[in-house]
Amino acid sequence: AQTVTQSQPEMSVQEAETVTLSCTYDTSESDYYLFWYKQPPSRQMILVIRQEAYKQQNATENRFSVNFQKAAKSFSLKISDSQLGDAAMYFCAYRRAQGGSEKLVFGKGMKLTVNP
């Protein structure tokens, strides 16, 4: 079974600075997808960024980028120029590429605080 681990339950960052959220996962499969979701106090999970395991290039979405290390099974999220609106719970998630399932396996989450 696949597992996702987020070892830091909480982090804080000053507005306009950069922060990196860590995530490791365990799987025996070679093809899969990884995601970072954000959950603000409104409770709605919002996709921040996704990475396909077969792609060596790290995904980027504006101020968000990932450092995907397949051999180390590591998938960290870097937020640049942090904004107050980035404050939320962040979840790392894994999904199999084979099998036709949408099932996401989530980490426990990390609470990010952005200080003005």
Q: Site residues (CB under 8 A) for another protein?
A: 33, 37, 42-47, 50, 52, 91, 96-109
Q: Residue 98's beta-bridge partner residues?
A: none
Question: Which run of H or of E encompasses 26?
Answer: strand 24-26
For residues 44 and 116, which CB has a smaller minimum distance to another protein in the complex?
Answer: 44
Shortest distance, CB of residue 102 to another protein, whole angstroms? 5
For residues 22 and 109, which CB has a smaller minimum distance to another protein in the complex?
Answer: 109
Q: Which amino acid is at 97?
A: A
Shortest distance, CB of residue 69 to another protein, whole angstroms? 20
For residues 98 and 116, which CB has a smaller minimum distance to another protein in the complex?
Answer: 98
Terminal-to-terminal C-alpha distance of the chain: 41
Q: How far apart are CA 39 and CA 46, in angstroms?
A: 6
For residues 11 and 97, which CB has a smaller minimum distance to another protein in the complex?
Answer: 97
- Compute the radius of gyration of the chain from its Cα atoms: 14
- Do strands 24-26 and 3-5 pair parallel, antiparallel, or not at all (unpaired)? antiparallel
Shortest distance, CB of residue 52 to another protein, whole angstroms? 6
